[in-house]
Structure 1
């Protein structure tokens, strides 16, 4: 097969005609019109597109293909469903069996679960029940987060919910590119990246060795589970705790692991996850993990003790639900097949019942004298000169600064050097930057 592209005009015409034929075949039966010939599935191997590839590779049945195209059609032919159904209702009116809803902005019919079942099974109850399995949790559509039925208000039939094709598959099928999800209440995580390299990360040998173990897992775990057939013996995923003082490289390490294993790293915004409303935190976490399922993402929970901290004694309903939410989170993390990194400045604050579930602990210490010297040398721009009075070895020995502190000092010194219209960083400017960092953290300058 030719390499895949986005949906071409040829395959668009074919899928629209196929869906239109499926709808007409059902309506002809119910409205007593002349029957058409049996519905034939197009030969998708003739087309080079991500849509046809998905259908072939996953060996979709006729019913599954109808469902997939029905979910896609509002994006490629907004008026198709309204036009076809309207021809059978010349005087207008409602046709409840067909299902479908109106959107806030979309003027056509948006298909629902009822629409799928009607097109494929009509009023045949046994067939409708069997076809409903397409929306079960263990079906391909749910496992790969392709299609789902939008939740409905309490008391309304589940299948009256809108048939939703995940945005990533809409992008893939129509443009050949998957846009990354944006930070929102539905997706409380943000993509983080770095332009730095491993050489810019200055850590002690023990920490580096622990990080290399994570890198090995990222590179080889899939082969271990599939080629060695260990998937039913080894728990999915890898859970790591990064702990240590602020500014020691925890976030940067997560970014570098993603960069060098070609994975997206998403930092979870805990302010969006944690809700004062009972049950909302669980819902937010569910949205996050559902989106991350079957992806090669790295999930990075910064300041994790704010939600993974020691559980409270149950004093009221709020405490009860808070503990339930933590338990739910533990279950989701344990079942997640990817890498989950939790970062905290205080390891002691993490609930002991949770720490047992980690595969690895990685400690990030404040840099020693030799590490601080290397950080100064790495981060000072090579294009800028230092005054002869600046002695980096002495600065590294005398001032206990983290990597983040050192970057801040260089930032401060660079700005003030430019403000003074100079090209050389002076010892005085560096000293002022160092003193500022100490004041920020409420520390007194004490030479080592």
Structure 2
């Protein structure tokens, strides 16, 4: 079902509440006494959102105030014009102009005016609704934009999380895209666990993470371990490039129903003081309560071995590490850090992880299995190809083997051939070795 009916009812209700407040302000009506929410209890995303969060009247009005400009740009302008037909200003109403938006954008002062008028006690209650301890802020649904030092906090705009805006309007929430404000990319795969060949010891540790995802809520809530163990799970994957670290994280998400976002720390870390923390703060604020799997690649960029503090750069680098550790430990989902070598990660950080999992170079028997799975079934393997010998002779990672298979398959298509010979395989291997500088 669409949100149109509920949106129309909600905005009409908000309009009546604001109109009543304006009438009280002008002395035409006595103090208003409204304490209800207005929406159809259907199966629309709008109704499901309200049923899930059960907002009070005041919380409902706050949500609608923040939502209104996203639906009707002139929503507040029309109301003020009707109230002041001969023109003029109404500073009590609050509101600001946007950079591109030409209508009025509601502020915390707007919320105070609509919900409390001149009642100081109620105005303070509205201030609490917009505080950091309220569930709006805790769930990162609605908050006040930061203001310049010295300006009243409630003069700031009401900001509604873009995902909430989407849910309450179009009803569909798109995945966030990589940008300076969200330094992570969504990753997914068509592959399955059967396509991934790992050392048995590595696979055993991966199953431990699956078990945590499946049973952590039971352990913490039903078994009363919430006060003893933290909500999230933190793991370190280390091993040479191409050994399956990223694919493993992606498959974990695929088979546990969780979105996976990859963050390349080498791109997030900024040379400008304070920028790294801002980049990471935006990421974790977005991920909070989403239960995503966050996969931090190139973790060495921030978690490398520390040296003594010789200058301001070292001091702020340590602050960046401390900040990321704090956010990782406070995150209630799965966080995976990836590094090429465990030795690159400072030992002081390793105690923060529940799992430290090694992704070694595949052994000959594992390489043979990867070779056998790498080629499409449309190809015929020539009699001179012995995968056992190829695997024993050439030391390649899983990613390297897939690169060779890709090269060979394209060349066979170009030659209009369907038979894979040993010569063709070795040509692809030599090409891969040259690329890797071997």
The two structures have a TM-score, normalised by structure 2, of 0.96
* Residues 74-101 of structure 1, C-alpha deviations (whole Å, 9 max, x = no match): 1222222111111122232332221112
Residue by residue over 1:264-306, the C-alpha shift from the partner in whole angstroms, topping out at 9 and shown as x without a partner, is 0000132442111111111111111111110120000011111
Following the alignment from structure 2 to structure 1, what is the Cα–Cα distance between the partners of residues 19 and 30?
9
Q: What residue number does 2:3 align with?
A: 7
Would the alpha carbon gap of residues 154 and 41 (structure 1) be closer, same or farther in structure 2, given more than 3 Å must change?
A: same
Match among 119, 122, 125 for residue 130 of structure 1 = 125
Query: How many residues were matched structurally?
Result: 438
Pairing 1:48–2:43 present = yes
Q: Which residue of 2 aligns with 1:306?
A: 301
Q: Secondary structure at the match of 1:175?
A: coil
* Displacement after TM superposition at 1:138 (Å): 2.3
Rounded to whole Å, the distance in 2 between the matches of 1:385 and 1:300 is 38
SS of 1:361's partner is strand
Runs of 4+ in 1 over 4 A off after TM superposition: none
Task: Identify which range, 54-63 or 68-77, moves more after superposition.
Answer: 54-63
RMSD: 1.7
Instruction: Give the 3-state SS of the residue equivalent to 1:153 in structure 2.
Output: coil
Conservation of the 8 A alpha-carbon contact between 2:20 and 2:29: no
Cα distance in 1, alignment partners of residues 48 and 280 from structure 2: 32
C-alpha distance in 2, partners of 1:404/1:53? 44
Q: Which residue of the other structure, out of 163, 166, 170, is the alignment partner of 1:175?
A: 170
1:366 match: secondary structure: coil
Identify if the C-alpha distance between structure 1 residues 269 and 6 changes in structure 2 by more than 3 Å, giving closer, same or farther.
farther
Listed one character per residue, the Cα deviations across residues 392-428 of structure 1 (whole Å, up to 9, x for unaligned) are: 1110110011100000111111222222232222222
- TM-score in terms of structure 1 length: 0.94
| 1:180 Cα offset (Å) | 0.8
Which ranges of structure 2 fall in alignment gaps of 5 or more residues? none
The answer to whether structure 1 residue 283 and structure 2 residue 278 are counterparts is: yes
Following superposition of structure 1 onto structure 2, how do residues 378-397 of structure 1 map, counting pairs within 5 Å? Answer: 378-397=373-392
Question: What does residue 446 of structure 1 align with?
Answer: none
Q: 2:371 aligns with which of 351, 363, 376?
A: 376
In structure 2, the partner of 1:59 is 54
* 1:243 positional shift: 0.6
Distance 2:87 2:264 in 1: 49
Match of 1:353 in 2: 348
Aligned counterpart, 2:332: 337
Written as runs of structure 1 = structure 2, the 5 A alignment for 1:19-418 is 19-35=14-30, 38-42=33-37, 44=39, 46-418=41-413
Cα distance in 1 for residues equivalent to 2:65 and 2:99: 19
Structure 1: state its 5+ residue gaps: 444-448
